[in-house]
Amino acid sequence: MTTLSVLCYLIRMKVEWDGRSYDIEKRMTGRKLLESFNLSREAHLIVANGKLTTEDQTLNTTDTVRIIRVISGG
């Protein structure tokens, strides 16, 4: 394996959700990401690299993503 492909293999999307951090190996849309966590699109927002993004946007393995819950119970 070349150095480059090793690096690619090591680079993973960082996802922060509910106070925990997850590493995701594949690139995928925000919609798929929410689905993989079993979360509703109506109840969550996706922030990629500090910017609010729509769910159709593809998130790359180099991205740092934060999922924000918008629903409160008060």
Partner 1 sequence: MKCRVCGKPASLSLRAYNTALCADDFIAFLEKRVLQTIRRYKLINTGERPLVAVSGGKDSLALWTILNRLGFAADGMYIDLGIAEYSQTSYLKARAMADELNRRLFRFSIPKVFGKEVAELSRITRRPPCSLCGTVKRYAMNRVCVTEGYSVLLTGHNLDDEASALLGNILYWKEEYLWKKDVVLEGQGSSLAKKAKPFFLCSEREVAAYALLKGIDYVYEECPYAVGARTLVYKNVLNQIEEMSPATKIMFLKGYLKRLRSEPKREQATSCIACGYPTYTEKCNFCSLMDRVGGDQRFAVDTYDPAETRMEPGETRPDNHA
Interface residue list for partner 1 (CB under 8 A): 40-45, 47, 51-57, 68, 70-74
Quick one: 20 or 51, whose CB is closer to partner 1?
51
Quick one: 12 or 16, whose CB is closer to partner 1?
16
What's the first-to-final CA gap in the chain, in angstroms? 54
Quick one: 8 or 68, whose CB is closer to partner 1?
68
* Residue whose tokens read 């993973």: 12
Angstrom distance (rounded) from CA 6 to CA 26: 15
How many Cβ atoms are within 10 Å of 7's Cβ, its own excluded? 10
Q: How far is the CB of 31 from partner 1 (least distance, A)?
A: 10
